[in-house]
A and B are shown apart, each in its own frame.
Chain A
Amino acid sequence: MAYGPGITWGDVGKRLPVRAAAALAGAILCLGLSAGGATAQEAPPRHTVPVDSMVFETPPPPFRDPDIFPCSQCHNADMPPNLQRRQLVDMHDDIVLKHDEEHRWCLDCHDAQNRDRLHLANGTLIPFEQSYKLCGQCHGDKYRDWRAGVHGRRTGEWNGKKQYLLCVHCHYSHEPKFKGLKPLAPPIPPGRKP
């Protein structure tokens, strides 16, 4: 099991904007506080693996059309990427983005140069199998719970190997709100026959 319980100094650095982190570091230096580092050493974080290098085994990504991947079947050298933000009409017009659509569009997550990969905000390319890293950039609290096995469905063994699901197995990436379900039959009230 690996998850991040408390906030350590390293985490503070990751979570704060760069300027704020620099200001914080400066303030600590100016005040000559070495206690911060000492505290971190006294109470080491429960897990020592950096989040970025964690890889979780999951089932393959649930592409709606199983033949659509790899994307480079069509998005190859013959089709130069069009970086203009626009409404798609020729292809993929079935995809209606309901996921902060005012601010985002396809190439914020899909990589324009390598269509078989997604990219993080810092430009790192990731395979579709690790899309949880992409989701985790904005939904950090959910990502933290998911890593701990608390967000999302787990099957397998409570004391051993667990099967994880990708975020997109339950939340369709282009419209992530969880869909309602028809409930199974209610119980029969006492005294009534089925």
Chain B
Amino acid sequence: MQDFYPMISSPKTDFEAFYNQAPCGLFTFRADGTIVHLNKTLLTWLCADAEDVIYHDFTDFLDKGGKLYYQLFVQPLLRMRHDVKEISFHMYTAKCDFHCLFSATAFEKDGDGELLYAATVYKVTDRKKYEDELLKKKQQADIEKEIKEDTLKQVAYDQSHLVRAPLANILGLTALLEGMEVSDEVRDMIDLLRTSAVKLDSEVIKLTDKLTA
């Protein structure tokens, strides 16, 4: 039993082991980005030795887009709100790279009150692939939507200009025909022609209005 429930245990050793073996990357950095310590998990993920990482700028392990994003969005949030959550980053070293979600919270260092940031990094290889798929589909849908809208606009333009112009001719000619002396049978046909042309014109207008709404 004692093997499973050890009576004597050092909390310090347990915490250290947990810190180093945690299934996520853990590290602490200064306001200027300098990493002051990190756990073994993160070191393994980075395929690096401690001296390659400690006292280096955390953003040195991000790609250029990540660096710019950090400066524009993440750092202002850390300064103002003292925490950020679930930022998608791509971390890399010469040997390894991985996609991850980054969260950080500020805390005051004992003693001098310096502001430090405690950060977690979760590897998200599969989830990232899934997100990329979703994003790709969304972008594709956006492009298709734009094409569809452009096509509709073109159709609306065609309706209003290309279709209504000949219709106007038909209406004009019908009016001329009405002024002529013709048999009753032909007059009935001209009446039907006019009613149909007017009806067609109003349908075209309705359709154009719908397309441009």
- Same complex origin of A and B: no
Chain A residues in contact with chain B, CB under 8 A?
Answer: none
